[in-house]
Structure 1
Amino acid sequence: MASRTHRAASFRWLGSTAVTAESGDAQNGARNGAGGDGGDERANQGGNEFAAMETALRGGHEPGVGGDSYAAMDLALRIGELMLAGGDTAESVDLAITRIGRAYGLPHPEVNVTLAVVGMSYLPRGGRPPVTAERRVRRRLPNYTRLAAVADLVRDATAQRLTLQQARFALGDIIGRRAAYPGWAQVGALSLLGAAGAALVGGGPLAICAAFVATLLGDRTGAWLGRRGIADFFQMGVAAAIGTLVTVLLVWSSADVRSGTVIIGVLIALIPGRALVAAMQDGIAGDLVTGTTRLVEVLFTITAILGGVGLVTYLGARAGVPVSLHDLPQAPFSVAAPQTLGAAVIAMAFAVYHLVSRGYLPPVAVGGVLSWSVLVELRAVHLPAAPATAVAATLVGVLGTLLARWRGVPALVCVTPCIAPLMPGTLMYRGMLELTVGDSGRGALILVEALATALAIGTGVYIGGELLRLVRPVRRALRPARRVPVTRR
């Protein structure tokens, strides 16, 4: 009881100190009236000038921490958590939290965004204690429809079209909405992504069907392992191993199919393109901790995929079912109709899997065809894979960001699905096969080229968005709103 009383007294003392700091001018004036000291008047005048200067530098009157301030901080952190869990970049999350804070009475918040934690701190003037809070992101499931809705909410709140209570209700409505597609549609979209990847590299009907089944089996097996607490690393490794096992079985059965197209389609479906783009964007934007963490996560995922492919390929070779390096598909050096259709299907399937709204599927399909066509034409003039991929991703980044700004949605919604056809599945598979047959030097070089190509995708997308900032900077939204003088009658 004594300690509780002591803490209460301490809080009352802090509160009285804050009140004294805010109302010091009035108290000094009362003492000056009683004592009549000219030196005190000059000191009081100097204090007023200092307070006025501080107020001007801090951007006007800064409120204290009250009930609305706590509610605003909670709203901002919940929005940041939702955006980060949905796949948005650290820069976008930081910007959204800052806008919400400024819109609802926290003019100078300090925001800290990592891959797993969103934190916010506010230090009011007048000697009052700071307030700090954070929320952990425990599950990261991509949901681009939700990201677009949150972007609309932040825009309305910044424009003062919503009260704090209305904004909180709107956020609850966004969280409670049904997903844009049912669960079975997402599973089918991922399987279709693998099938379209097989078509993209020249697979026939049998290879396309085999890639669909292999991706479906790998995804469902990974989900079954996930429900039992198995780490994502092993889930991805098992999924890649299942796809490779289907390829080995096709070779063993002497089926009339280019077996390499099956596993390449599965690899295109499994490579974490969304996380790769976000990692490069965070790193280049200066969010080094988040960007590095995302990149390490991507590298672990790719390592798991390559481990699953390499293990099954090695076991197949030891069992007398070797996969020949001479039968691997190559990207065509002309824009053919089957491959173009495959690129469009890959982009749309990627969009459905990441819950992009139906209205964006047609432009996403066009973007997928465009990225693939540019890559093919650049490779036809013997440009290396990484630079050609970077150019194609940059073009998609520019056009996709333009569309996103016009529609008022995050750029990830319009850009990320379009780069799915650029994933270096063929290079990854060829590198692993070279390692399996004993050519470690050549296999390592091919895998490095595949990694460089993957990084070029994220870099190109970010460069495309940065080029538009030269014309229309988006950071100007961080500037405080201009105050319109009110004329009193």
Structure 2
Amino acid sequence: MDICLLAGRIMLQNGAETYRVEDTMIRMANARGVDAQSFVTPTGIIFSIDGEDKTRLIRVSERAIDLQKITRVNTVSRAFCSDKLSIEEAYEKLTEIAASRHAYPIWLQIVTAALASGCFLIMFNGPWSDFASAFVCGAIGFSCALYFHRLTRFKFFAEFLAALALGLASFVLVRIGAGQSQSTIIIGSVMPLVPGVLITNAVRDLMAGHLVSGMSKGIEALLTALAIGGGIAASLFLVAS
């Protein structure tokens, strides 16, 4: 039970789909001849073993996107189900995965987000002369998102402030002549903040029949999009006034 819950918690905290978390937990339990039931939502896991009165509940209050951790858990799960790992070995490896930090340092995440912002600007038919401006705005927006996420537990407030910051930065860059098309710069630099993985997981959960998780993730993605749009609208309002 401890192994299944730990594997499920790591996957859920790092962006795995709900049905994938449930399937992994059930497969690991069945690999040791145990019939189990699991119910997973974006904020918690309920797990029980048939024939026993003991049922465990784990709350998941913080979630991020780290696909490498999900891949590592899947590797451990496959080895465990193939009898290549004992219970003790699997638990030790899962504990190491849970304790490990993000695979990439913060500065590399910011640089990558900035580079992606410039590429999105080109994809949306923006001029090459605005690439540097989108790069800077993307770095500012992503940096602010990471910073405000640490200061406040309200994710949507942090994303609102990040969008507000990059909107104001784009205005400043256009005003001083470093950029030409403010709208294209904003569109390109805001893309790293868009909850693409969350939207994809919501659709996949709905298609798999997990209506509660799919709807909740879809609403979370909608609120995130509204927070980003509100931040951009607030920056344009401040500039206009």
Is TM more than 0.5 here? yes
SS of 1:311 mapped into structure 2:
helix
The 8 Å contact of residues 195 and 209 in structure 1, kept in 2 or not, is answered as yes
Report the equivalent of 1:351: none
Structure 1 or 2, whichever has the larger Rg, is 1
| Pair 268,178 (structure 1): closer, same or farther in 2 beyond 3 Å | closer
The superposition leaves residues 256-303 of structure 1 with CA deviations (integer Å, 9 ceiling, x where unpaired) of 622222101122221110111001111121111111110010000000
Tell me the distance in 2 between the aligned counterparts of 1:262 and 1:235. Answer: 21
Q: Report the AA paired with residue 90 of structure 1.
A: T
Higher RCO, 1 vs 2 (CA within 8 Å, ≥6 residues apart) = 2
Tell me if 1:277 matches 2:200.
yes
Tell me the distance in 2 between the aligned counterparts of 1:229 and 1:174. Answer: 26
Tell me the distance in 2 between the aligned counterparts of 1:177 and 1:160. Answer: 25
Tell me the distance in 1 between the aligned counterparts of 2:67 and 2:132. Answer: 28
Tell me if 1:207 matches 2:127.
no
SS of 1:110 mapped into structure 2:
strand
The superposition leaves residues 412-463 of structure 1 with CA deviations (integer Å, 9 ceiling, x where unpaired) of xxxxxxxxxxxxxxxxxxxxxxxxxxxxxxxxxxxxxxxxxxxxxxxxxxxx
Report the equivalent of 1:104: 32
The superposition leaves residues 1-51 of structure 1 with CA deviations (integer Å, 9 ceiling, x where unpaired) of xxxxxxxxxxxxxxxxxxxxxxxxxxxxxxxxxxxxxxxxxxxxxxxxxxx
The 8 Å contact of residues 152 and 158 in structure 2, kept in 1 or not, is answered as no
Q: Report the AA paired with residue 166 of structure 2.
A: G
Q: 2:66 aligns with which of 143, 146, 158?
A: 143
Tell me the distance in 2 between the aligned counterparts of 1:214 and 1:224. Answer: 15
SS of 1:120 mapped into structure 2:
strand
Q: Report the AA paired with residue 40 of structure 2.
A: V
Tell me the distance in 1 between the aligned counterparts of 2:4 and 2:64. Answer: 20
> How do 1:288-437 and structure 2 match up within 5 A?
288-318=211-241
Tell me the distance in 1 between the aligned counterparts of 2:179 and 2:138. Answer: 20
Report the equivalent of 1:227: 150
Which TM-score applies when normalising by structure 2?
0.92
Report the equivalent of 2:139: 216
| Pair 256,224 (structure 1): closer, same or farther in 2 beyond 3 Å | closer
User: How far did residue 100 of structure 1 move?
Assistant: 1.1
> How do 1:440-479 and structure 2 match up within 5 A?
none
The 8 Å contact of residues 37 and 49 in structure 2, kept in 1 or not, is answered as yes
Tell me the distance in 1 between the aligned counterparts of 2:34 and 2:146. Answer: 42
Tell me the distance in 1 between the aligned counterparts of 2:217 and 2:11. Answer: 15
Report the equivalent of 2:41: 114
Tell me the distance in 2 between the aligned counterparts of 1:260 and 1:194. Answer: 13
| Pair 101,179 (structure 1): closer, same or farther in 2 beyond 3 Å | same
Q: Report the AA paired with residue 115 of structure 1.
A: P
Tell me the distance in 1 between the aligned counterparts of 2:140 and 2:174. Answer: 19
| Pair 228,181 (structure 1): closer, same or farther in 2 beyond 3 Å | closer
| Pair 180,224 (structure 1): closer, same or farther in 2 beyond 3 Å | closer
Which TM-score applies when normalising by structure 1?
0.47
The 8 Å contact of residues 120 and 188 in structure 2, kept in 1 or not, is answered as yes
RMSD: 1.9
Aligned residues: 241
Tell me the distance in 1 between the aligned counterparts of 2:178 and 2:113. Answer: 25
Tell me the distance in 1 between the aligned counterparts of 2:216 and 2:179. Answer: 44
Tell me the distance in 2 between the aligned counterparts of 1:314 and 1:222. Answer: 21
The runs of 5 or more residues in structure 2 that have no matched partner are none
The 8 Å contact of residues 31 and 80 in structure 2, kept in 1 or not, is answered as yes
Report the equivalent of 1:180: 103
Tell me the distance in 1 between the aligned counterparts of 2:37 and 2:179. Answer: 62
